[in-house]
Chain A
Amino acid sequence: MDILGSFRHMSIRQMLHQVLNFCLVVSSALAMWKGLAVVTNSESPIVVVLSESMEPAFQRGDLLLLSMFNTPIRVGDITVFKIAGKDIPIVHRVLEVHDSKENGTQYLLTKGDNNPVDDRGLYNRNQMWVTQKEVVGRVSAFMPYIGMVTIILNDYPQLKGLLLAVLGVFVLITKEE
Chain B
Amino acid sequence: MASEKSAFVALLDATPVTVNNYNIAEVKHALDDSVRKILTKDHKFIEDNTHVDRKLLLGFSSCFFAIGGALYGHFNDFQESKLLVTIAIVLYSILNSSMLLYTWFVEKDTIFVGVRKGNGSDEKILVSAKCNKAKAEYFVKLSISGKKPVSNAFTKSFGAWFDVDGELAADVLVRDVGSLLVDKKSQ
In this assembly, does A34 line the interface, its C-beta being within 8 Å of a C-beta of chain B?
yes
Residues of A within 8 A of B26 (CB): 175
Stretch at the interface among B58-66, B119-127, B178-186: B58-66
Q: Is the CB of B78 within 8 A of A37?
A: yes
B23 — nearest CB in chain A belongs to which residue?
A174
Question: What is the predominant secondary structure among interface residues of chain A facing chain B?
Answer: helix
**For the complex, what is the distance from the CA of A177 to the CA of B103, rounded to whole Å?**
12
What is the size, in residues, of chain B's interface with A at 8 Å between Cβ atoms?
Answer: 32
Question: A15 to chain B: closest CB distance in Å?
Answer: 11
Q: Which of B39-82 contact A (CB under 8 A)?
A: 49, 52-53, 55-56, 59-60, 62-63, 66-67, 69-70, 73, 78, 82
Contact (Cβ within 8 A) A28 B60: no
Q: Quick check: B67 and A8 within 8 Å, CB to CB? A: no
State whether the Cβ of A23 lies closer than 8 Å to any Cβ in chain B. yes
Contact of B86 with A38 in the complex, beta carbons under 8 Å: yes
A interface residues, how many (CB within 8 angstroms): 25
Using Cβ atoms and an 8 Å threshold, which residues of chain B touch A41?
82
Contact B59 A31 (CB under 8 A): no
Contact between A17 and B52 (Cβ–Cβ < 8 Å)? Answer: yes
Contact A23–B73 (Cβ < 8 Å):
no
Give A12-23 as 1s and 0s: 1 = Cβ < 8 Å from B's Cβ atoms: 011011001001
One of B25, B59, B67 near A20 (C-beta < 8 A)? B59
Q: Which residues of the partner chain A approach B29 to less than 8 Å between Cβ atoms? A: 175
Answer yes or no: A52 CB below 8 A from chain B CBs: no
